[in-house]
């Protein structure tokens, strides 16, 4: 199911944008945006077909279809130690939109959010869109560990939000229950909100336990939002479907109201919600095979790069990206340009634009493709020097 023969390259060249096959010249291998090269699960395809057979595409409930909200709640409760009801779930048109909505709800212009460094650029963008200011808390790029003493020292009277990425993109760290509990205690001591981006929480290796943030303590339940999406685990990024979760119903109702998910101003495509709901109901076997394939690819990519002279990788606990350190004297941007020009491989530079100041000296390499494409791409990178 996840061999090179299962990849439809013609379809990818027509449809896979965002720095991937459709956005690049022929002959270039994209190991860039975190999006699988494989077609989505047949159960999802069939679910979409079944839904539109009667020809009706009517309005759905503005905050989400009942089956969508139920399935997301059950998924978190059974897989991630959550304690959510369907009423704790809001359908949004991507995890990214969820992040922007939360920042807008929590922050007034000029107020401060602490985000990790490095981390995906959307954390910074969402705070800036809300008129907030950014404070960076360092993450060890080798281990993924957060400097909690530094985190406490960064909190000021103007701080309102701590945003975490778990599992961490791009380092691939899964934060333990103990670490999350400590973050919740810090947040509670300073009366701060916490936003936990958990879009990668299905792509966790070696059966490592994953705890959704709000599950770790009573403090974590009280002033937190969780963001989730389907683009990583089920390959439906183009359907733009995600969820915001919150255990405090009074807060959540206010959030839904102020985010305009109470009328036709907002709301998510019912077709996208059906696809996501079917994914959780019927496509788990497909997902488990995909996860096994990814773990094999992770180990392969790590071993190839570990013996190279140009990159020093660490083994991610989650995600399907590697974030190796550059061994030569090139900057992240220079390294990525060199590999594109001489190796015909596109990768993401660890530049401030994409991941923050702490990412410099690294590159991000996506491995959610076939073993053949991955090996060819990595060997091209190594041989380009």
Residue identified by tokens 């981006």 is: 197
Pairing between β-strand 89-92 and β-strand 242-245 as defined by DSSP bridges: antiparallel
> How far, in Å, are 85, 180, 248 from residue 218 at the CA level?
16, 12, 11
List, for the chain, all residue ranges whose pLDDT scores fall below the cut of 70.
none
- CA distance linking residue 187 with residue 194, whole number of Å: 7
Residue 174: partners with Cβ closer than 8 Å, 6 or more residues away: 166, 167, 168, 204, 208, 210, 317, 318
Rounded distance, CA 155 to CA 110, Å?
A: 15
Is 92 strand, coil or helix? strand
Pick from 115, 130, 128: which is nearest to 165 by CA?
115
Contact 111, 157 (CB under 8 A): no
pLDDT score at 323: 98
Least Cα distance to 117 among 367, 363, 364, 350 occurs for: 350
How do strand 193-197 and strand 224-229 relate by DSSP bridges?
parallel
Q: How far apart are CA 177 and CA 156, in angstroms?
A: 26
Coil, helix or strand at residue 91: strand
Radius of gyration in angstroms for the set of CA atoms belonging to the chain, rounded to a whole number: 20
pLDDT at position 1 is 84
Instruction: Say if CB 17 and CB 238 are below 8 A apart.
Output: no
- What string of H, E and C letters represents the secondary structure of 216-258? CCHHHHHCEEEEEECHHHHCCHHHCCEEEECCCHHHHHHHHHH
Tell me how crowded residue 133 is: count the other CB atoms within 10 A of its CB.
Answer: 14
- Look at residue 194 in the predicted model and tell me its pLDDT: 98
How far apart, in whole angstroms, are the C-alpha atoms of residue 314 and residue 294? 16
DSSP β-ladder status, 311-312 and 89-92: unpaired
Three-state SS at 132: coil
The pLDDT of residue 89 is 98
Q: How far are the Cα atoms of 39, 55, 222, 244, 378 from residue 94, in angstroms, in the given order? A: 19, 25, 24, 9, 30
Check residue 114 and give its pLDDT. Answer: 98
Q: How far is CA 263 from CA 62, 245, 267, 309, in A?
A: 6, 19, 8, 57
Diameter over CA atoms, the chain:
61
């Amino acid at each position: 199911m996840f061999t090179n023969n299962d990849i439809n390259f013609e379809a990818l060249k027509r449809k896979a944008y965002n720095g991937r096959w459709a956005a690049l010249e022929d002959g270039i291998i994209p190991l860039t945006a975190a999006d699988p090269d494989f077609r989505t699960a047949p159960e999802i395809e069939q679910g979409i077909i079944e839904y539109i057979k009667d020809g009706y595409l009517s309005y759905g409930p503005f905050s989400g279809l009942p089956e969508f909200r139920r399935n997301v709640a059950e998924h978190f409760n059974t897989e991630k130690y959550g304690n959510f009801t369907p009423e704790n779930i809001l359908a949004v048109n991507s995890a990214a939109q969820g992040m922007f909505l939360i920042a807008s709800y929590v922050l007034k212009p000029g107020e401060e959010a602490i985000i990790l460094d490095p981390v995906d650029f959307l954390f910074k963008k969402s705070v800036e869109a809300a008129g907030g200011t950014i404070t960076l808390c360092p993450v060890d790029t080798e281990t993924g560990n957060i400097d909690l003493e530094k985190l406490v020292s960064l909190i000021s009277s103007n701080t309102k939000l701590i945003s975490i990425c778990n599992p961490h993109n791009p380092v691939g760290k899964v934060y333990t229950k103990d670490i999350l509990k400590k973050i919740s205690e810090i947040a509670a001591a300073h009366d701060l909100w916490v936003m936990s981006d958990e879009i990668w929480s299905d792509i966790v290796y070696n059966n490592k336990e994953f705890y959704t943030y709000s599950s770790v303590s009573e403090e974590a339940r009280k002033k937190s939002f969780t963001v989730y999406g389907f683009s990583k685990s089920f390959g439906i990024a183009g359907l733009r479907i995600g969820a915001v979760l919150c255990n405090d119903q009074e807060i959540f109702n206010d959030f839904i109201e102020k985010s305009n998910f109470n009328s036709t101003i907002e709301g998510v495509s019912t077709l996208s919600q059906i696809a996501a709901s079917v994914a959780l109901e019927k496509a788990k076997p497909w997902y488990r095979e995909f996860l096994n394939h990814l773990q094999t690819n992770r180990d392969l990519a790590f071993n190839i790069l570990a013996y190279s002279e140009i990159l020093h990788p660490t083994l991610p606990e989650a995600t399907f990206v590697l974030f190796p350190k550059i061994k030569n004297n090139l900057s992240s941007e220079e390294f990525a340009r060199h590999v594109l020009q001489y190796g015909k491989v596109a990768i993401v530079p660890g530049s401030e634009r994409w991941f923050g100041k702490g990412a410099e000296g690294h590159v991000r390499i996506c491995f959610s493709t076939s073993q053949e494409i991955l090996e060819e791409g990595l060997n091209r990178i190594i041989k380009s020097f």
